Amino acid sequence: MAKRVSNNERHVRWNWEISPEFDDDNRRVRYHFVIVDDKDRRGTLNKLLGELAKFRGNLTPVRTVEGSVTNTRFRYLFCSYDSSVKSSEINFSRLKRLVKKDSGLYERKVGNIEDYVANIYGR
């Protein structure tokens, strides 16, 4: 059974997909992270990036968007990075947060991923 995540609690949503810039010379995946918290979102992001950086991959930032979570004291930080590190290498337990893989976090041909995130947390 999948974990239910409430917008009223600190948590991290994440997903990965093959990077749109993927080719034979650039074998990379794109990670999407949404960090919901009332204070140290950047600190949690730095822990995630540290997990990715400790392996052979370099990180390429793609986007960063911040917003408020409707009817809560929380804010969200949404960011995407390209990396060559496999998701199995990331130790999410170091975050000390509820973590949920969200299959809805992906690049879209119609609409965009930023709208998906805004619809989850309110505009």
User: Which pLDDT tens digit goes with each residue over 43-59?
Assistant: 999 999 988 888 766 78
What is the pTM (predicted TM-score) of this model? 0.90
Domain positions in the chain are: 11-19+26-121
- Looking at residue 1, its pLDDT comes to 42
Whether residue 9 has pLDDT greater than 80: yes
**What would the pLDDT profile of 24-83 be if each residue is shown by its tens digit?**
666 789 999 999 999 999 999 999 998 888 876 678 899 999 999 999 999 999 999 998
The sheet that has 60-68: what strands, in order across it?
Answer: 60-68, 75-83, 29-37, 11-18, 98-101
The torsion angle over the Cα atoms of residues 17, 20, 21 and 22, rounded to 10 degrees, is 50
What is the architecture, at CATH level 2, of domain 11-19+26-121? 2-Layer Sandwich (3.30)
